[in-house]
Amino acid sequence: MAVFTPVADSDAQVLLRQYAIGELVSLRGITAGIENTNYFLNTTHGEYVLTLFEKLEFEQLPFYIELMHHLAARGVPVPEPQTLRDGGRLTRLHGKPCAIVSRLAGGYEPAPVAAHCRLAARTQAQAHLQARDFALRQANLRGIDWWRATAPAVLPFLSAEQAGLLRSELEHQAAFHAGALHASLPAGAVHCDLFRDNVLFAGTSEQPLMGGFIDFYFAGCDTWLFDVAVAVNDWCIERDSGALVPHLVASWLEAYQAQRPFTDAEREAWPTLLRAAALRFWISRLYDFHLPREAQTLKPHDPRHFERILRLRRELPAPPLP
């Protein structure tokens, strides 16, 4: 959520004529994130978020927009895409696909405790279950095919030892993803990027309330357990080292299990998927760090964070699933 494409008040005023959500009150760019252009958009009817999609093509976007619409209709707390006067939920601004969604209450928690983990995990399980009958299908575009395609671009920036780690883990994941165990895992439309800054909480730090999940633009069809692994690798760690914090991991997994029990196949696959989730974000952060795009507010993440996490997940036993 950086500002790649400037949007003026006059642009927003013209855009709003396509909707029935009031007149422009204010527009403010959102500086966090690295993929799309986002603005807080306040109108006489309420508070919204305007997103201009910088990488995704118009034809790819219905999956994300309709998934949010589907989940919101089922009572899952996610941004609700606003419907245009012509009945669609996507349009264009400055030649870029764009959408307006409702702005959820609350803010993200940079230092989550067990209560935050339980709330987020419960909502994650509910989202998985409610998306079971979502009709659209799209592969996780940052899945293993993307890892393989992107690795050659980042390898020249790595030391020999780092390159060896990347090649070794890719080989391991390729074998796993091609095998029967991976094929047996429950799967569906999942968020794929459920980091702590993509979940909003209302209430207080001591008594948090779920505000909702945001930023679905990496969502895709993948195993439910990969989605859990992505979250655990961000929410349940010592921030500096990347080491898993046992009581936070237990809080997440037990709250999720209470909504959607894990299978025996998932218990067997869990250590490998924790590694897969670390590899995915190590590669993407290497790419964004070494091959950045121009943006007014772009702040690429340090890729060494997920390199450390990947090494730890390879070296230490994973806490078992309940």
181: Cα separation from own chain's centroid: 24
* Predicted structure pTM score: 0.92
Q: Which residues pair with 48 in a beta bridge?
A: 41, 102
Q: Could you tell me the end-to-end alpha-carbon distance of the chain, in angstroms, rounded to an integer?
A: 35
Q: Which residues pair with 116 in a beta bridge?
A: none
**Along the 322 residues of the chain, how does pLDDT read in single tens digits?**
467 899 999 999 999 999 999 999 999 998 765 678 999 999 999 999 999 999 888 998 999 999 999 999 999 999 999 999 999 999 999 999 999 999 999 999 999 999 999 999 999 999 999 999 999 999 999 999 999 999 999 999 999 999 999 999 999 999 999 999 999 999 999 999 999 999 999 999 889 999 999 999 999 999 999 999 999 999 999 999 999 999 999 999 999 999 999 999 999 999 999 999 999 999 999 999 998 866 544 567 899 999 999 999 999 999 999 9
Residue 3 pLDDT: 73
Buried b (16+ CB within 10 A) or exposed e, 222-246: bbbbbbbbbbbbbbbbeeeebebbe
**Distances from the Cα of 118 to the Cα of 114, 208, 231, 237, angstroms:** 6, 10, 12, 15
CA distance 11 to 100: 14
Domain locations along the chain: 9-102, 114-315
Burial grade of 135 (CB within 10 A; 0-12, 13-18, 19 or more): exposed
**Spatial CB neighbours of 196, under 8 Å, sequence gap ≥ 6:** 108, 109, 110, 112, 234, 235
Cβ distance 193 to 301 under 8 Å? no
**Spatial CB neighbours of 294, under 8 Å, sequence gap ≥ 6:** 4
Residues 114-315, CATH architecture: Alpha-Beta Complex (3.90)
**Distances from the Cα of 53 to the Cα of 35, 95, 160, angstroms:** 8, 10, 36
Q: Where are the beta strands (DSSP E) in 127-217?
A: 187-190, 199-203, 208-213
Closest among 198, 205, 320 to 254, alpha carbons compared? 320
CA dihedral (282, 283, 289, 292) positive or negative = negative
16: Cα separation from own chain's centroid: 27
Q: 235 — alpha (psi -120 to 50), left (phi > 0) or beta?
A: alpha
**HSE-CB of 321 using CA atoms within 13 angstroms:** 21
Cβ distance 187 to 223 under 8 Å? yes
User: pLDDT digits over 153-170, tens only?
Assistant: 999 999 999 999 999 999
Tell me if residue 37 falls in helix, strand or coil. strand
The top-level CATH class assigned to 9-102 is alpha beta
CA distance 172 to 165: 11
